[in-house]
Structure 1
Amino acid sequence: MELLRLLLLFFHLAGFAAMVGGFFYQMRVKQPEIGGYMIGGAIGQAVTGAALIGVRYALDLPVNNPKMGLKLGLDLVLLVLAVVGVRQRVKRPAVFYGVGALAVLTAAVAVFWK
């Protein structure tokens, strides 16, 4: 079960890397836009995050429910913004920067909220 937890954590971090890495990569171009990899990263983070909570419950490890609820909520808002950003005809920079800010905020909640 510990191996499963570590694999889920690895893929959770890979989803974060896809979102933030894609965000910083797109910032280099003149018209930044949200790519499909950012949607994949957001889906990956939401799914693996929920699975990580389930594994923690199965292992009788403590779970900070308010923190996990906030992180899941941020992940879902991030996913909706990413989908909206990909489907827009006219690309709006506010949606792009909102996705990047929410990705970083989600990581900050994970690190700083004990």
Structure 2
Amino acid sequence: MEIVRHILLVIHLLGFAALFGGLLVQLKASDKVANGLMRDGSGTAFVAGLLLVGVLEMGDGPVDHVKIGVKLVIGLVILGLVMSQLRKPKISDALYWAIFALSIVNVCVAVFWSSAHVAS
């Protein structure tokens, strides 16, 4: 089961990489859009994250449900924002930066929340 966990973690990280790639390619563009990379990346990260939690629940170790809940809500908001804007010719700068900030917050929750619990 450990190999499945590692594979899902890699897929989850690749999803976030695609989301960030879709955001970064538009950094200097005057008209920003919700593009396919953002859609596929946020969807992949979300689904892989759900599957990863399922695998973790089947294991013997503790699962931090509060952290997972926070990441789930942030990921769902990102996915919802991206999906709701797909057919629009452009998105506002405020919405672009909101998606960007939420993506960074989600990564920070994953990294720093884990580190804080491991150290204690």
Q: What is the TM-score when the length of structure 2 is the normalising length?
A: 0.88
**Matched positions, count:** 114
Cα separation, 2, equivalents of 1:24 and 1:67: 26
Deviation for aligned residue 1:28: 2.6
Write out aligned runs for 1:1-114 (5 A): 1-114=1-114
Calculate percent identity across the aligned residue pairs.
37
Q: Which runs of 4+ in 1 moved over 3 A?
A: none
Q: Secondary structure of 2:25's match? A: helix
Q: CA RMSD in A?
A: 1.3
Cα displacement string for residues 7-33 of structure 1 (whole angstroms, at most 9, x for unaligned residues): 000000000001112211111322222
What are structure 2's unaligned runs of at least 5 residues?
115-120
Cα displacement string for residues 24-55 of structure 1 (whole angstroms, at most 9, x for unaligned residues): 11113222222111111111111111111111
Cα separation, 1, equivalents of 2:95 and 2:36: 14
Q: CA 1:90/1:38 → structure 2, altered by over 3 Å: closer, same or farther?
A: closer
